[in-house]
Homo-oligomer: A and B are copies of this chain.
Amino acid sequence: MSKITVQCPATVANLVCGFDVLGMALDEPYDIMEVSLLEEPVIRIVSGDGFPLPSDPAQNTAGAPLIAMQDELEKPVGFEVIIHKKIKPGSGVGSSAASAAGAVVAANHLLKNRFSKEDLVRFAMFGEKVASGVKHADNIAPCIYGGITLIRSIFPLDIVSIPAPLLHVTVVHPQIEVKTADARQILRKEVLLKDAIRQWGNIAGLVAGFIKNDYELIGRSLEDVIIEPVRSMLIPGFDHVKSQCKTAGALGGGISGSGPSIFMLSRDIQTARAIEQVMKNIYNDIGLDYHTYVTTINHTGVKTA
């Protein structure tokens, strides 16, 4: 029996104008997962810190991806997974993706890397389906590839790594619950063509800004005229946080994933820390509990601890 321990990074999906297609990995927070290879073809999920987990592996975000992986092995094996959850579920920074991605990356190491990264994304999406009812890859892909990723297409899967300059990320997680499924349901099924055009101008600008290291262009492109106006209503203080963080020097930012976390990008660590203080002040005033993180983009994805 062999065993591996991995770090599984939090991720920010959507990146404002890149709803469902862009995501980035963070250096903090991250989960720790210990995965062991078993000879009998079973999946055992164990909470390493007392956090309650579904006992049926098929209903668990780490278990479902491993079952999908098992299905493609000639000689089935099993896995025991011990999860130390540091990324709070429902926070909007890819908690379920971290479990799903971590499980398959660790398992693949134990199987001597017989699957490609694309295969791993494919498997891990089964975990997202368990978590939110939808197979999406905008947290999974950056969690596995690291950095900023574009999911150009899900069927067929087409993942593109987007290089970017050094960026500091400030995240605030106000302690309210926003379920991904609910956040999805409030979106309109149709959007105005003129808004869609503005959105694809912005995502094109954002991708160009990342690859060309153009901070001003990144800032100007961090605008979402479709999703944010609807979803931000679920997050107390959102407009206030956004406007005050930009005044304090943030390039821009918005809802992380489907919320309630809010992220802001900055050029330098001083600004990122000043923005953290702005966020703290606002949620202290509102009287809502919160966590904050000041971090950078993670460029490795899931890695051995």
Task: Spell out A's residues near B (CB within 8 Å).
Answer: 17-22, 150-153, 158, 160, 162-163, 187-194, 196-208, 211-212, 217, 220-221, 226
**How far, in whole Å, are A17 and B201 apart by their CA atoms in the complex?**
11
Interchain nearest-CB distance for A68 vs B (Å): 23
Q: List 5 A-B contacts (CB under 8 A).
A: A18-B200, A20-B201, A152-B217, A160-B205, A189-B192
- Report which of B188, B192, B203, B211 forms a contact with A200, defined as CB distance below 8 A: B203
CB distance B204 to A204 under 8 Å? yes
Contacts of A202 in B (CB 8 A): 152-153
Interchain nearest-CB distance for A87 vs B (Å): 25
Q: A191-B193, A199-B200, A220-B152 are in contact. Are A158 and B22 (CB under 8 A)?
A: no
**How far, in whole Å, are A187 and B193 apart by their CA atoms in the complex?**
9
Q: A189-B192, A217-B160 are in contact. Are A20 and B197 (CB under 8 A)?
A: yes
Contacts of A194 in B (CB 8 A): 189
**How far, in whole Å, are A106 and B205 apart by their CA atoms in the complex?**
29
Q: A197-B21, A200-B203 are in contact. Are A150 and B208 (CB under 8 A)?
A: yes
Q: Which of chain B's residues has its CB closest to A197's CB?
A: B20
